[in-house]
Every structure is written in C-alpha cells, then in structure tokens.
Amino acid sequence: AQSVTQLDSHVSVSEGTPVLLRCNYSSSYSPSLFWYVQHPNKGLQLLLKYTSAATLVKGINGFEAEFKKSETSFHLTKPSAHMSDAAEYFCVVSHTDKLIFGTGTRLQVFP
C-alpha cells in the first residue's frame, strides 16, 4: 500500500536560513510524489512533482526536492527561507487515481 510519513509536524526557521521538510514514502512500485503548500485560509497549491524523470525536482518559489529511492525519501528544501514561506506543507503520493496525503508540516519563519 502507498503511504507517506512526514517526520516533523512543526518546523521553525529564521528568515534567510535553509529549510528542510522531511518526507518518507512507502510504495510497492515507482511512485509519483508531490509537495503541496497550503497558506492560511487558502487552497492547496502544487509546489513540485516527481514522476520518474530527474531525481532532483525544482519547484516554485525556490523550493526543490530530491527523490532518493534507496532511502525512500522525498525531502523538500529551500536554501533561504522567506517570511512568506510560512504555511502548511503536505507530501503526497499518487496511488492509482487518488492522492494520499501526509499529515503535514507547519513551517514557521521568524524574522
């Protein structure tokens, strides 16, 4: 069965410092993986996606993620956090025709 585990429910960083949001997946075959962001009182926006092409995926707003099959990980990173990055981030795996969401990581960015 497909599943994702987000290892941190909350991450706090200072503005200008790197961001690392961790995600591990479980999949019986080559997965499609996504990161979505949800700003307060907003909908879900796609940050980036992995669909078996390049293992290093670049997304919007300077985010990127690396697919590591050996570690079953798809961690989200950004070199320098901005105040506007404060939001809830969801790691998502695609299973047949539905998406399975992780529990989410709330990113706080302090000035």
Partner 1 sequence: EPEVTQTPSHQVTQMGQEVILRCVPISNHLYFYWYRQILGQKVEFLVSFYNNEISEKSEIFDDQFSVERPDGSNFTLKIRSTKLEDSAMYFCASLRRQNTEAFFGQGTRLTVV
Under the criterion CB under 8 A, does residue 3 sit at the interface with partner 1?
Answer: no
CB of 87 closer than 8 Å to CB of 40: yes
Q: CA 31, CA 94: separation in Å to the nearest integer?
A: 7
Q: CA 5, CA 25: separation in Å to the nearest integer?
A: 6
Q: CA 101, CA 83: separation in Å to the nearest integer?
A: 25
Interface region with partner 1, contact rule CB under 8 A, candidates 19-27, 29-37, 64-72, 79-87? 29-37
Under the criterion CB under 8 A, does residue 43 sit at the interface with partner 1?
Answer: yes
* Joined tokens for residue 96: 């047949």
Based on CB atoms, which residue is closest to partner 1, 43 or 111? 43
Based on CB atoms, which residue is closest to partner 1, 74 or 90? 90
Query: Residue 82 carries which side chain, given as an amino acid letter?
Result: H
Nearest to 19 by CA among 8, 11, 7: 11
Under the criterion CB under 8 A, does residue 57 sit at the interface with partner 1?
Answer: no
Which 83-102 residues touch partner 1, going by CB under 8 A? 90, 94, 96-102
CB of 25 closer than 8 Å to CB of 91: yes
Interface region with partner 1, contact rule CB under 8 A, candidates 10-18, 20-28, 44-52, 61-69? 44-52
Q: Report the residue from 12, 14, 17, 51 that binds partner 1 according to the rule CB under 8 A.
A: 51
Q: CB of 78: closest distance to partner 1 in angstroms?
A: 20
